[in-house]
């Protein structure tokens, strides 16, 4: 066991894709906060790789949503468009 303090965590920039991904899932009703973390991580992966679709990223996250996947995708897409991360349709 160690008595050293934990390493400092460097906060991501407010304009980073990480912040945008995590902010894009805020307010989406899920069973557990960890579900939203998983969802945000999958959105971040989608933003950085642009593989497949946003719908596939939400589905592959395996989150337990209290709304439909379609509604979640719509909210995430709107949040990302408002931030200028993805173009408006």
Q: pLDDT of the chain along its 89 residues, tens only?
A: 668 888 888 887 878 899 999 999 999 999 998 999 999 999 999 999 988 999 999 999 999 999 999 999 999 999 999 998 888 86
Task: List the structure tokens of 55.
Answer: 């719908």
Contact 73, 54 (CB under 8 A): yes
| pLDDT the model gives residue 89 | 66
Q: What are the residues facing 65 on neighbouring strands?
A: 30
pTM of the predicted protein model: 0.84
Cα 1 to Cα 6, 7, 8: the distances in Å are 13, 15, 19
- Which residues have CB under 8 Å from 61's CB, separation 6+? 35, 38, 39, 41, 42
């Amino acid at each position: 066991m160690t008595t050293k303090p934990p390493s400092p965590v460097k906060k991501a920039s407010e304009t980073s894709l990480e912040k945008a991904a995590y902010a894009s899932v805020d307010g989406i009703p899920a069973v557990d906060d960890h579900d939203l973390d998983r969802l945000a991580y999958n959105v971040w992966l989608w933003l950085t790789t642009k593989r497949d679709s946003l719908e596939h990223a939400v589905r592959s996250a395996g989150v337990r949503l209290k709304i439909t996947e379609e509604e979640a995708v719509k909210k995430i897409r709107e949040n990302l468009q408002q931030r200028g991360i993805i173009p408006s349709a």
